[in-house]
Amino acid sequence: MNLTELPYRTLAIVRGTDRDAALRTVLTLAEEGITAAEVSLTTPDALWVITRARRELGPRATLGAGTVLTGEDAARAADAGASFLVTPGLGEDLRRSPTPELPLLIGALTPSEVITATENGALAVKLFPASLGGPGYLKALRDPFPTVPFLPVGGIDAASALGYLAAGAVAVGVGSPLVGDAAGGGDLDALRERVARWRTALTEEVAA
């Protein structure tokens, strides 16, 4: 899994209140070119969503589970067809995860947490919540950690996404500014319009 090759350097975060709407959201995002998505385990029947999306999108889909907190979460997500796992942090139970084959995006904010994430094999450090420091904080972190791949998440819109990518992020994770209310039953045409605007905004930076 190469995060720099994600379309538009974007990982969509689907966190909804309705399983069918969440599934439709994942599939619509893929249809519109945002083919990398994580389904938060806080979504009702999230594992069902992952299983059905995997069936629809095939084995090569970049489809993961988010808000993974425990080793049991990780194992169940792997069984459902997730190809990567995203955590808000790293607890002791998750360090003993029985799914070492799945890439981990481990949440961290402070330098000590960044070190812990990298020591535990993170494919990338999920800088969360990124909005606390903005692109300037990412730039400051990259001074002592120039080789660590960072993926900022939290409060990111198209304008700040460009700032993070310019500061050296490998990709960005984006939730409501892109997904909106679609995963709760909102209008899919409105979702398609947001995706179109996102693609336009990100194309220049990704092509650079």
Active site members: 38, 126
- Separation of alpha carbons 172 and 188, rounded Å: 22
Contact (CB, 8 A) for 186 and 166: no
Whether a cis peptide bond, with omega within 30° of 0, leads into 129 is yes
Structure tokens that stand for 121 in this block: 């094999």
**Residue listed under structure tokens 């190809």:** 83
In whole angstroms, what is the distance from residue 4 CA to residue 171 CA?
6
Give me 119's structure tokens. 């020591």
Long-range contacts of 128-133 (CB under 8 A, 24+ apart): 128/88, 128/152, 128/153, 128/154, 129/153, 129/154, 129/155, 130/154, 130/155, 130/156, 130/164, 131/155, 131/156, 131/160
Residue 36 DSSP label: E
162, amino acid identity: L
Q: What's the CA gap between 204 and 206, in Å, rounded?
A: 6
